[in-house]
Structure 1
Amino acid sequence: MDVVKYLFVAVHLLSMAAIVGGWFARFRTPSVTAVQLIGACGAVLSGLILVGLAEMGDGSLNHAKIGVKLVLALAVLGAAIVGTLKARKDQPVSTGLAHAVGGTALINVLIATLWH
């Protein structure tokens, strides 16, 4: 069971790297990329699976932290969907929307590491 957990941890970390890395790569000309959308989907799904796996085990979870992270992850996913749809229709993606995707994901990473 540990192998499965570690695989989903790896997927979760790679998903967050795709979101934040895509944001840093396009920082001067902000846009939302398909890689960020895929990363947002992967982060939400792998995060939910990791919570489910942790609940099945004997460990305890900080449900307030999980709730805050889920709300932020869904906000990132929603902004990534809107930004990607605008980019596909050749409509301009606002700077605020592009920075919301990366910035909110970065805040989510900071919450994950600093909130104990």
Structure 2
Amino acid sequence: MRRLTATLASLVLFASLSLAQRPEEGAPRFEAAEVVSAVEPGYPPNSIATGTVILQVSLDRWGEIEAVKVLKDIKSLTPEAVRAVRKWKFKPARLDGQPVKSTLTAAFTFRTIVTGAPF
């Protein structure tokens, strides 16, 4: 019997603002948005594709999703990744303690797992 799974490979947060690890005194302090809750995508029942779908997620100053842009597409898998990431909840990014818009990148790796197959 074959079992198909979708795996959230990684979430890498990138901010439109970047600062040195140890900012100089008086320099703006940036805190990236944080994932509060995440939903894994389902694996489409009619797909045999594998690979990684990469999405760019734009957040407003309240941590709500404004837009999702596909950076790496796998035709049969991308809709599931987009559907899942749109259900995610975020703590907003902050600059000097004030919430600001931000952008992050989410990568979803889909793979097939064969179980119970004869050798």
- Return the TM-score normalized by structure 2: 0.23
Higher normalized contact order (CA 8 Å, seq sep 6+, divided by chain length) = 2
Which of these two proteins has the greater Rg computed from alpha carbons? 2
Q: Which has the higher helix share?
A: 1
- Return the TM-score normalized by structure 1: 0.23
Q: Which has the higher strand share?
A: 2
